[in-house]
Amino acid sequence: MYPAGSNDTYHAICSRLMEILKSSIYRHVRSTSSIPSASKAVLLSGGLDSSIIAVLASSIDKAKDVIAICVGHEGSQDIKYARIVAERLGMRLLIKYISIDEMLSTARDVIRVMHSFDPMEVRNSIVLYAAMKELREYGLRHVITGDGCDEIFAGYSYMLSMSYEQLEHELARLERIMHFSSIAIAEDLGMSVSLPYLDVLDYAKSIPVGLKVNEYEGKRYGKFILRLCFEHLLGKDIAWRVKMPMEQGANTSILGSYLASMVDDEYLARRSKDCLDGDRVRIRSKEHLYYYEMYRAMFGAPYLMDCGGTNKARCSECSACISNDARFCRVCGAFPITPIPV
């Protein structure tokens, strides 16, 4: 099962990770609500992070009492894999197919809640908003997510090419800045959310980065140690499933091509010039423009933000307020950016 090294070491790490995660999930499940079913909802994409949550939640309560939900557009890979996981666990799975019209309607809510017109943020958060809204209609008020796993266990694809020294610095940086849209979305919908992986953070920092990114059968993977630890519970196909951004797994990424076909080229050129000249916002695509026009109607141009406080600057691409050491703008989604001192 394990690569070269001490099997006792791997076994000890796996046992401790499972202990912390299971204890965290148990605590969240038992303390969130007096309504039994309200504390047993899991957002399940069929990827590693959420599947681990699902299998541990199922071991705490009878699997038939744990409700999972997966949201996706037609052709969603997440729905395919979520079905596999739910069937193996005997877990009830709610599947919501979301149409393009529903995506665009939900995008408005996401922009309002997240104060962002970043296309990736919008496409990802559409999935979360639609899932939580669906659960709320079932009377559920609490949900458990896999948020934080990528940040703590080096799950992002760009990390695979880093040296271990670079990876150490990047994980430390992510720890300082990580934020999760699920928290704001849950609050907007009158729900609460648990993120069990955050309870593993302190212990995870003691795990060598070489066990977070490593090779398996000739391919480099992030979240390496978690894949090893949970393969026997999840199955090899789930444990070693390649990381897929939420927008791709749920197929909300289709919005980019859909909006490209709906917005006229001449309109894009004219409005992009207006946005740059009048609002100091650089528009990158038709989809970006579509979301920005929603954002502007709600909040006005980003340059009007009050950047009071210390260590503040403005984004070089949209003039929104950012920290003076930021590399990414959460408002417009630009990366990399050059902070402009205020």
Q: What does the pLDDT read at residue 37? A: 44
Mean per-residue pLDDT for 289-318? Answer: 94
- The last residue of one of the domains, among 195, 220, 249, is 249
Q: Answer yes or no: is pLDDT of 60 > 90.
A: no
Q: Answer yes or no: is pLDDT of 33 > 90.
A: no
Q: What three-state secondary structure class fits 222? A: strand
- The last residue of one of the domains, among 249, 273, 295, is 249
Is residue 255 in a domain? no
Is residue 78 in a domain? yes
Same domain, 129 and 277: no
Q: What percent of the chain has pLDDT over 70?
A: 94
Element (H, E) at 100: helix 100-114
Same domain, 78 and 151: yes
Q: What does the pLDDT read at residue 310? A: 75
Label residue 17 by pLDDT band (50, 70, 90): very high
Structural domain harbouring 279? 264-341
Specify whether the CB–CB gap between 155 and 149 falls below 8 A.
yes
Is residue 192 in a domain? yes
Lowest-confidence region among 152-161, 281-290, 309-318: 309-318
Specify whether the CB–CB gap between 140 and 38 falls below 8 A.
yes
Instruction: Specify the amino acid at residue 297.
Output: A
Joined tokens for residue 109: 């809510």
Q: Answer yes or no: is pLDDT of 267 > 90.
A: yes
Q: Which long-range contacts (CB under 8 A, 24 or more apart) does 323-329 make?
A: 329/118
Same domain, 145 and 237: yes
Same domain, 122 and 92: yes
Is residue 259 in a domain? no
CATH number, domain at 218? 3.40.50.620
Lowest-confidence region among 37-46, 67-76, 116-125: 37-46
Pick from 251, 3, 307: nearest CA to 130:
251
Alpha carbons 92 and 58: distance in angstroms, whole number: 10
Q: Could you read off the pLDDT of 74-107 as tens digits, one per residue? A: 999 999 999 999 999 999 999 999 999 999 999 9
Is residue 256 in a domain? no
Lowest-confidence region among 19-33, 199-213, 253-267: 19-33
What is each CA distance from 254 to 196, 248, 257, in whole angstroms? 31, 8, 6
Is residue 278 in a domain? yes
Mean pLDDT rounded to a whole number for the chain = 93
Mean per-residue pLDDT for 287-292? Answer: 98
Alpha carbons 25 and 15: distance in angstroms, whole number: 15
Q: Answer yes or no: is pLDDT of 215 > 80.
A: yes
Q: Could you read off the pLDDT of 181-206 as tens digits, one per residue? A: 999 999 999 999 999 999 999 999 99
For the chain, the domain total comes to 2
pTM of the prediction? 0.93
Same domain, 64 and 142: yes
Mean per-residue pLDDT for 20-48? Answer: 78
Is residue 2 in a domain? no
Q: Could you read off the pLDDT of 136-160 as tens digits, one per residue? A: 998 898 999 999 999 999 999 999 9
Alpha carbons 215 and 176: distance in angstroms, whole number: 27
Same domain, 228 and 277: no
Q: What percent of the chain has pLDDT over 90?
A: 84
Alpha carbons 56 and 168: distance in angstroms, whole number: 28
Same domain, 167 and 138: yes
Same domain, 334 and 202: no
- The last residue of one of the domains, among 218, 249, 280, is 249
